[in-house]
Amino acid sequence: MAVLVLADHDGSALTQPSRSTIAAAAKLGEVHVLVLGAAAAAQAAAQVAGVAKVLHSEAEPYANGLAEPVAALLVALAPNYSHLLAPASAAGKNVMPRVAALLDVQVISDIAGVVDADTFVRPIYAGNALATVKSADPKKVITVRAASFDPAAATGGSAAVEAAPSADDPGLSSFLGAEIAKSERPELTAARIVVSGGRAMGSSENFKIIEGVADKLGAAVGASRAAVDAGYAPNDHQVGQTGKIVAPELYIAVGISGAIQHLAGMKDSKVIVAINKDEEAPIFSVADYGLVGDLFKLMPELEAELAKK
């Protein structure tokens, strides 16, 4: 039986976490992808390596990703699939547990490994333990930790695009608006390099020091929870257990002490750099390269050094 992936997209292409989800799904069966909204994104999904079929709908209730109609659509499609997957993004985490409950199955959240069709590895306790769980449910509903799977290539596939059926909109909620930050920088969960600031940044004004270095590296900007709570950085920058999980090639933690909740979001990065004035800070215990000192002195030096080729 085929497996279905609910993909996130930006209007023209699938997000990288969606392609990681397709890679995880490919271990379970023939992959079909459901794309809601822009037709260009459905065309892009058809190009992704390993995708056998794309289901697409531009119907009104799905356009803004409201959980109730999207879950109803997935439930209508479910009889054809053994597994239903989505990235563990804000959208996937919103919809998939609702789908699971409607199907009377226990959702398997944030998987980091596929053992077999019934058995999955998932982090618990902020990633301080890994549980291998076997599901007894007839159908599996899953969200996927994108950082744990290499994304499927964006090109190389040539799937057919079909119109998705429509399901009744339960009409329980309506979309009023969104404030989505526009940025030239790469998306946090897809970036090759991430530079993150913590509470020690002291103000949102000072966060520009992080941005300066990030722009020299073509990096995304992240933040610790403390920095977000203090208003130095917007909520969508938060890296950690309950924020975004990232695993870039290079993660630079600036003025971040390294609470376990933050480490949970970045400790699978390939190379970690910590810059902190407290040489006892726990962040140094996971860093490949540590630099002890005043970030307000070191960061401008770093920006200048990176400018030299």
Partner 1 sequence: MKLLVPVKRVVDYNVKVRVKADGTGVETANVKMSMNPFDEIAVEEAVRLKEKGVATEIVAVSCGPTACQEQIRTALAMGADRGILVEHDGVLEPLAVAKLLKALVAKENPELVILGKQAIDDDMNATGQMLAALLGWAQGTFASKVEKDGDKLKVTREVDGGLETVSLKLPAIVTTDLRLNEPRYASLPNIMKARKKPIENVKPADLGVDVTPRLTVLKVEEPAKRQAGKKVGSVQELVDKLRNEAKVI
Query: Rule CB under 8 A: is residue 110 a binding residue for partner 1?
Result: yes
Is 130 within 8 Å of 112 (Cβ atoms)? yes
Among positions 43, 47, 82, 94, the unique one binding partner 1 when judged by CB under 8 A:
94
Query: Rule CB under 8 A: is residue 180 a binding residue for partner 1?
Result: yes
Among positions 26, 91, 200, 201, the unique one binding partner 1 when judged by CB under 8 A:
91
Report the largest interatomic distance among the alpha carbons of the chain, rounded to a whole angstrom: 60
Stretch that binds partner 1, among 24-32, 131-139, 151-159, 201-209 (CB under 8 A): 131-139
Sites for partner 1 among residues 200-219 (CB under 8 A):
217
Q: What angle do CA 256, 233, 96 make, to 5 degrees?
A: 95
Query: Rule CB under 8 A: is residue 289 a binding residue for partner 1?
Result: yes
Cα separation, 220 vs 211, in Å, equals 8
Give me the residue label for tokens 């301080």. 128
Find the shortest distance in angstroms from Cβ 108 to partner 1. 7
Query: Rule CB under 8 A: is residue 168 a binding residue for partner 1?
Result: no
Among 38, 41, 52, residue whose Cα is nearest residue 18: 41
Query: Rule CB under 8 A: is residue 126 a binding residue for partner 1?
Result: yes
Tokens describing residue 134: 């076997």
Stretch that binds partner 1, among 21-29, 37-45, 203-211, 232-240 (CB under 8 A): 232-240
Query: Rule CB under 8 A: is residue 135 a binding residue for partner 1?
Result: yes
Among 292, 300, 206, residue whose Cα is nearest residue 257: 292
String marking each residue 33-72 x if it binds partner 1 according to CB under 8 A: -------------------------------x-xxx--x-
Cα separation, 231 vs 201, in Å, equals 11
Tokens describing residue 1: 């039986």
Tokens describing residue 25: 């799904």
Stretch that binds partner 1, among 34-42, 78-86, 196-204, 294-302 (CB under 8 A): 294-302
Query: Rule CB under 8 A: is residue 255 a binding residue for partner 1?
Result: no
Cα separation, 188 vs 266, in Å, equals 11
